[in-house]
Structure 1
């Protein structure tokens, strides 16, 4: 990290701590003089430089017409400050909802904006910190809903960070902006990854029409010994009775129902969750009833969008604490 980047990040953290005291986190925030900041942008600084040059020329040549032009430009600059601030002042931003998504995909947050300005608010830019921005315009007293995407990288709860609201209307030489800390959270499901199909062991599989796999704990019979068979499986009793050398066979019975069983997999936690997510989607597409068996949670086999959402939500929230909401947060600020 370069020295310039380090100082920029340090200044940004301190600035955000300062604005959080002035505009605490809330579900709905109104823009006013307490949370709006205004300063000339690059075009504005060039405009000021041009004013200085024109004023120096008018003073040097004692030309009243050139001086009048400089004073006119100064007047436009001052008036632009008031109009740019008024364009954002009175705008209310409210978090509506967030659509769940899978890790690695963009989560969509739905916001509602409304302006109290009698002529509306023009050319407002919106965007989460580090994400792409959208430009909108608001009509007076007409709420507008906007969908803003934010990238996700891992399962769990996604908090998109601060929302940038800014505008340079009407002349493009003054920037008015605010960083809003909304109570916006989206649920991110595990990324579906294909792994071996999970199974659910059931000791009463015989009665329920279950299937069997060799190598379990239930004795199924004897077969002739083959080189390489485990010594512990040799039927020593039959061998002692001079009946020959035999090997005991075992089989375990598994439920005929499809189960997303946590204990049937051997992968690491996140890969297990991704695999269970993959098979949940697969069973739902194939219309095969499936259940979920996690530590401290069991969902009986079923089908349908509601059941799928319950399964995916359980996988997304596995071993995670709910997102914390600061005590300073309110339903409305501003």
Structure 2
């Protein structure tokens, strides 16, 4: 059994010149890796369906527009593996959409794909959200675990009427709010996601909480997978986070809704559970290089602004 106390980020720098084999023979399969941008969207969608992931073709399209990636294909052009990365600022990126075909998962394909990712990313610090199946792989590559993410989903229930926090008003998010949303998100997330937030505003409805005319919290909601996903949710307090999330839950009462949060206890996760979104699964936020903003935990050095719900597991 792997001793997690001895696992963590390597003290050796990752060199930008790191090389990884661009082809590999696994059992009777010969695979080649290339730029994901050159792969048909239908093939990517088929791969995620084969492992039970909920992404629609439209969700894949947004991911392709937001990041870079690689795809592994066999001799006849079938896509059997993918991985993507999403640069946020000059020194940080998240890794996501790490998928390998079930028939290759026991043959080392995941490690080969990740070695190719690391060779292409260079010296950026990295964050990712690891499934239980992939956690051991990431530990072996030097990633350190930070916190759990609770994937909450189900048929949304009309939330109980709650008093708006004192001195606050709610209104819809507008495109002209982008600069302030980026400011709040950067404070909570620890990296600049301005391009991503601009893209999310194009496909999302948003609710903002204001005090004295200034936005202090916001929540976005967009179509995703089986229904809609709420995120990101960024706020200074649980009450503010609840206030901007509740309208989205009310709008989708009776429909499938999802929200991913690192909040384990407290008013916000309790509100999410009462709203028909129990914990369905968990993944682990992990980091390589400089610690991700989430690594400090809620008690030590908690920032004044908190990411209460992720934009997605790929984006963080």
Q: Which range, TM-score by smaller chain?
A: under 0.3
TM score, norm. by length of structure 1: 0.20
TM-score, normalising length: structure 2: 0.21
